Structure 1
Amino acid sequence: MARGRPREEGIDDAVREAVRALLTESGYQRCTIDAVAARAGVGKAAVYRRWRSKAELVFAAVIHPVELEPPEDTGSLRGDVAAVLGVIQSSLDGPEVKSALPSLLADVRADPALEARFGEAFLGRERGYLVLMLERAVVRGELSRRPDPALVHSILLGPVLTWLHLFTEKPPSGGLAASLASPLHAAVVALGA
């Protein structure tokens, strides 16, 4: 028999929507757990049962949830790299992310316990996602060995993050992910040689 209160349907969606609305209206600093709970019409305990901190809540609401769908298998490493770049770009693009990311990362870096949980919950799962893509490439013979997922993660994430959050130029006419796919594919192949 299950113990405790069952999770109510719709709370997760209401909380995520409240986070997005508060970030748009008042920014990261004023997007508190109290404000999110009030906006979503739930108690603070319901929020804390799902997310342990404001940083984890905001990341899960506007970038990606803890659980990730397996990466698309396009049939080639180059296609998979392009697809993953598209996922990264869509995760990091948008006004809520632009508003929250600098302060969210500062909060994570300032708290060693939060940084460790964040690394396990989000970065670890992102790297596990990439391991699936890399292992497929090894099986297909496109890589002789699986490169370090942390290096591949930084190679794919870095350029997208830099373009979307540091540059003011519009993305290349062919699209950012498509423009980065060939050079970053070559970098991943070099690491797996």
Structure 2
Amino acid sequence: MSVNPGRPRDARLDRALLDATCELLATQGYAGTTVEAVARSAGTTKPSLYRRYAGRAELVVAALLDRFGEDPTHDTGSLRGDLTALQSHQLRLFADPVLRGAAGGLIDEVGLDPATGRRFADRFLAPRRQATARILDRAVLRGEIPGGHDPEWICDLLTGPLLMRALLPGLPPLDEGLAEQTVDAALRVLAAGRE
């Protein structure tokens, strides 16, 4: 006896929900990206959206993952090249109006709800932080740096200045010069282990 698994999900609706979320984040910010607004913009209902996502924060994280992917790294053959590629990706990420529209409100929401915060950390932050660890592991294998560095600290060193410039008003804009400075700072810290 076969069990009816239910209707398959409509990939077009999935796409419409993610696209509507990105459009609203870019134009209305997190506050304007309500479940009701996303459903209306995607041409569906709130119950249809809730069958896919537990709430706004989960939907926004899904939209960010769809837009930016999970692993921004690739092996360029050198530590400097890998870090520069990572920072170029992060520069585009933090300059993107979708992320800028999402960041402040999403950070507030995940701070108030530990379960949502864990999902955000596991699905969006952890893969990016693990990318930094993979870059350092490759550099150790190539003999460019000694082992034993803290990848979490290096990730913070690379990401912190970009995040501040993206979120705090009145600071100079994000640019390639800042990205290069973060790479240079990380390389100085990593090279210090050789001395």
Shorter-chain-normalised TM-score: which range?
0.7 to 0.9
Residue of structure 2 in register with 1:137 after alignment? 139
Question: CA distance change for structure 1 residues 45 and 142 in 2, over 3 Å: closer, same or farther?
Answer: farther
The number of residue pairs the alignment matches comes to 191
Matched, 1:156 2:152: no
Instruction: State which structure, 1 or 2, has the greater radius of gyration over its C-alpha atoms.
Output: 2
Structure 2: runs of 5 or more not aligned: none
Q: Secondary structure at the match of 2:76?
A: coil
Residue of structure 2 in register with 1:85 after alignment? 87
Residues 95, 174 of structure 2: 8 Å contact kept: no
Residues 30, 106 of structure 2: 8 Å contact kept: yes
Match for residue 17 of structure 2 among 15, 25, 28: 15
Letter in 2 for 1:64: L
Cα displacement (A) at 1:130: 2.1
- Range that drifts further, 80-89 or 120-129: 120-129
Question: CA distance change for structure 1 residues 138 and 55 in 2, over 3 Å: closer, same or farther?
Answer: same
CA distance in 2, matches of 1:122, 1:164: 18
Cα displacement (A) at 1:170: 3.2
Q: Secondary structure at the match of 2:126?
A: helix
Q: TM-score, normalised by structure 2?
A: 0.82
Give the CA RMSD over aligned residues. 2.8
1:27-60 CA-partner distances (Å, limit 9, x unpaired): 3113111221221123434433443331232233
Letter in 2 for 1:101: A
More helix by share: 2
Residue of structure 2 in register with 1:123 after alignment? 125
Question: CA distance change for structure 1 residues 27 and 68 in 2, over 3 Å: closer, same or farther?
Answer: closer
